[in-house]
Amino acid sequence: MSQATAIHGEKISLLRVLGPAHVWALGVGIVLVGEYMGWNFAVGKGGAIAALIACWAAGLLYTCVAMIDSEVTSTVAAAGGQYAQSKHIIGPLMAFNVGLYLVFAYTMLEAANAITLGYLVQTVGQMAGFADAHDKPFIVLAIMFLAWLNYRGVYATLTVNLVLTAIAFIAVAVLFLGVKPWSTELLHHKEILNGLPYGWIGVLASLHFGLWYYLGIEGTCQAAEEVRSPARSLPLGTMTGIITLLIAATMTWYLCSGLMPWEYLGQATTPLFDAARLTSSAPLMVLLFIGTMFSTLASANGCINDASRAWFSMGRDRYLPTWFGAVHPKNRTPFRSIVFLVPVALIFAYFAPLDQVITFSILSGLLEYTYMSIQVIFFRQKWPLDTIKRGYVHPFHPLPALVLLAICSATYFAVFLGYGTQLVAMMVFFIVASLWFHFHRYKYVRRGDQFTMNWPRPVGY
């Protein structure tokens, strides 16, 4: 395999070895765990029909995210993804905030995955007759092992993700066929579905966890500096990723809502595994248990990859100490950023409750999506289509941006209904961090060096 980037005596860069399949594995791998668990809390908020509406609304939101992301990323092919995009399109303060959104969203999600994995292993231990089985050793092992994998190299990391994600997706598809969706032998939608028990306010509330079906697909563009052909691979991997997730989300909702009443489904820890148990098929149970484990591992793995790239990029631009902007000379990974974020993830996984960790991750993602809707409008205004060559041009502009902004606004309200304190606390944190960056940190930034794209002067400047 040819290597496009390498040590050049005095220079090291990340390694360009990834293809579209790795990009798909990165995006879908982070998200697919949301089909295995988490999405069903939307059912608890407003019933199964509300969860389906949330699934479609969130699907629309993320389709807009994927389209916008594909266009912008195909021109700003840099590690850091949305952080690098916002730096070039809006400015340093926005970029600093977006970088923090990314690191928070992915590190919290990594912690949530590790907690879930520990819980699953503990459950296995208890089922095997070890009543005093603990989850903590396996939470820590999951984080340490995946951090080590990421430390060693991106190609092995995302190849592992490809295998794990493919198996997890196939497991969902096999279960879907296993419940015979063409018959009413196992599925009882007519008897179980009960409309909207809390009315339309329940639908709005369910949007909060509706995001869980797709949260993280935008992480594909963190691989921008490590794919062989960014302009082709990133849009291809991202768009096929969102299509995969739309299919997986629809299959998941259909089979779970036909097997379990909403009162149970709305608070189940592992709804897909529970669905497999209801089929009374041992092979399906084993397959879905493996799928659940693999999806959590793949998600945590992708999160470590993405959080470290965002942190690394901010260090490289001196938004954070430059120490974090180092690349390992042999492994070609942002090794210091990977190691630094390990204790952060461990602290949250070890001490924080799962629902709080998930909420902080969702909130960080939501802030990021809101920014993306504004960013793409600026992007098209400052650099119209005929001024910069794009690898992909998203259609119907500015409709996707406006739809994205509208759904984000509705989701803020949904989050506020359930987690208003966390929402306010997070906003205060970002305001304080912005003040620190503006009045203290920005003086260390080399202002000319941070803008690397060979773009023409923006229209109107």
Partner 1 sequence: MNNWQILEYAAWALSFALGLYMLIDMIMTNHKYSEDLLTSSREGDIDETLVIDPPHQGGHL
Task: By CB under 8 A, name the one of 167, 192, 243, 326 that touches partner 1.
Answer: 326
First-to-final CA distance of the chain: 44
Indicate which single residue of 317, 383, 414, 437 sits in contact with partner 1 (rule: CB under 8 A).
317
Beta bridge partners of 227: 18
Size of the site for partner 1 (CB under 8 A): 69
Question: By CB under 8 A, what part of segment 426-445 binds partner 1?
Answer: none
3-state secondary structure of 184: coil
Of 13-21, 46-54, 96-104, 250-258, the window that binds partner 1 (rule: CB under 8 A) is 13-21
CB 86 within 8 A of CB 427: no
Interactions with partner 1, residue window 186-245 (CB under 8 A) = 225, 230
**Residue 348 interacting with partner 1 (CB under 8 A):** no
Number of C-alpha atoms within 13 angstroms, CB side, residue 422? 18
Residue reference for tokens 């598809």: 173
Closest approach, Cβ 10 to partner 1, in A, equals: 6
455 is an interface residue for partner 1 by CB under 8 A:
no
Nearest-CA neighbor of 157 among 34, 335, 330, 298?
298
Pairwise CA distance, residues 412 & 68, whole Å: 20
Q: ∠ CA(327), CA(328), CA(334), 5° rounding?
A: 45
- Residue placing its CB nearer to partner 1 in the complex, 130 or 396: 130
Give the closest residue to 69 by CA, choosing from 291, 241, 303: 241
CA dihedral sign of residues 127, 129, 135, 137: negative
Q: Which C-beta is closer to partner 1: that of 61 or that of 327?
A: 327
In angstroms, the CA 319 to CA 152 distance is 26
| Interacting span for partner 1 (CB under 8 A) from 51-59, 178-186, 309-317, 348-356 | 309-317
Which residue, 30, 109, 47, 40, is CA-closest to 269?
40
Is residue 77 a contact point for partner 1 (CB under 8 A)?
Answer: yes
Residue of the chain from 328, 390, 397, 441 that contacts partner 1 (CB under 8 A): 328
163 contributes a contact to partner 1 by CB under 8 A: no
Query: By C-alpha distance, which of 422, 363, 394 is closest to 208?
Result: 363
Q: Which of 24, 335, 348, 369 binds partner 1 (CB under 8 A)?
A: 335
2: left (phi over 0), alpha (psi -120 to 50) or beta: beta
Nearest to 210 by CA among 411, 451, 389: 411
- Beta-carbon contacts of 362 under 8 Å, excluding residues fewer than 6 positions away, are 208, 211, 212, 215, 415
Place of tokens 């897909």: 272
Work out how close the CB of 377 gets to partner 1 at its nearest, in angstroms, rounded to a whole number: 23
Among positions 78, 239, 265, 275, the unique one binding partner 1 when judged by CB under 8 A = 78
Task: Give the whole-angstrom CA distance, residue 218 versus residue 238.
Answer: 7
Site for partner 1 in 387-426 (CB under 8 A): none
Which residue in 327, 341, 415, 423 binds partner 1 (CB under 8 A)? 327
Closest to partner 1 by CB, 113 vs 359, is: 113
Of the residues 34, 46, 258, 325, which one makes contact with partner 1 according to CB under 8 A = 325
Stretch that binds partner 1, among 15-23, 47-55, 248-256, 363-371 (CB under 8 A): 15-23
Nearer to partner 1, 40 or 157 (CB): 157
Determine the Cα–Cα distance for residues 186 and 208; give it in Å rounded to an integer.
Answer: 29
For partner 1, the closer of residues 141 and 406 by Cβ is 141
Q: How far is the CB of 253 from partner 1 (least distance, A)?
A: 35
| Shortest CB 306 distance to partner 1, Å | 16
The whole-angstrom distance between residue 232's C-alpha and the CA centroid of its chain comes to 21
Among 140, 186, 278, 406, binds partner 1 (CB under 8 A): 140
Q: Does 71 bind partner 1 (CB under 8 A)?
A: no
What does the binding site for partner 1 look like in residue numbers (CB under 8 A)?
Answer: 1-17, 76-80, 84, 125, 128, 130, 132-134, 137-138, 140-141, 144-145, 147-148, 151-157, 159, 225, 230, 313, 316-317, 322-323, 325-333, 335-336, 338-339, 342, 450, 452-453
